[in-house]
């Protein structure tokens, strides 16, 4: 079982996560791609990583935009797993981690 992050740990982690904000107690990021194929290709890559991690995003795709929220349902809050998945998503999206 994963422990909820402390406020300090979360603030430090967020500083190292370009593009991510805290929204409704979840990590949140919106990504826009050149078209639907790029957006869905990205989602497919994230899905494979998420399944490998057994940690799954809440997300919404409208055409070329993908909005992602991360939380750990089992812990009812944010944990290291959310930070890890956000970092993996940034790598796949082509942003430095
Ligand atoms: C039974 C299974 O391992 C759990 O339900 C996993 C699956 N994926 C998950 N994903 C997320 N985001 N949070 C969880 O708590 C979680 N739990």
Q: Tell me the pTM.
A: 0.96
Q: In this structure, are residues 79 and 72 in contact, taking their beta carbons and an 8 Å threshold?
A: yes
Q: pLDDT (tens digit, 9 = 90+) per residue, 8-27? A: 999 999 999 999 999 999 99
Cα of 72 from ligand 1 centre, angstroms? 7
With a 6 Å cutoff on the Cβ, whether 56 touches ligand 1 is: yes
CATH class of 5-91: alpha beta
Distance CA 68, CA 15 (A): 18
With a 6 Å cutoff on the Cβ, whether 58 touches ligand 1 is: no
Burial status of residue 86 (CB atoms within 10 A of its CB: 0-12, 13-18, 19 or more): buried
Q: In this structure, are residues 55 and 84 in contact, taking their beta carbons and an 8 Å threshold?
A: yes
Rounded to two decimals, the ipTM of the complex is 0.96
With a 6 Å cutoff on the Cβ, whether 28 touches ligand 1 is: no
Distances from the Cα of 5 to the Cα of 1, 43, 50, 82, angstroms = 13, 26, 20, 10
């Amino acid at each position: 079982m994963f422990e909820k992050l402390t406020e300090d740990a979360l603030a430090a982690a967020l500083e190292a996560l370009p593009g991510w904000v805290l929204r409704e107690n979840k990590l949140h990021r919106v990504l826009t791609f050149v078209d639907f194929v790029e957006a869905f290709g990205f989602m497919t890559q994230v899905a494979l990583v998420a399944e490998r991690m057994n940690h799954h995003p809440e997300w919404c795709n409208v055409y070329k935009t993908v909005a992602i929220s991360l939380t750990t349902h089992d812990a009812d809050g944010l944990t290291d797993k959310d930070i890890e998945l956000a970092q993996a998503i940034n790598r796949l999206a082509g942003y430095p981690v």
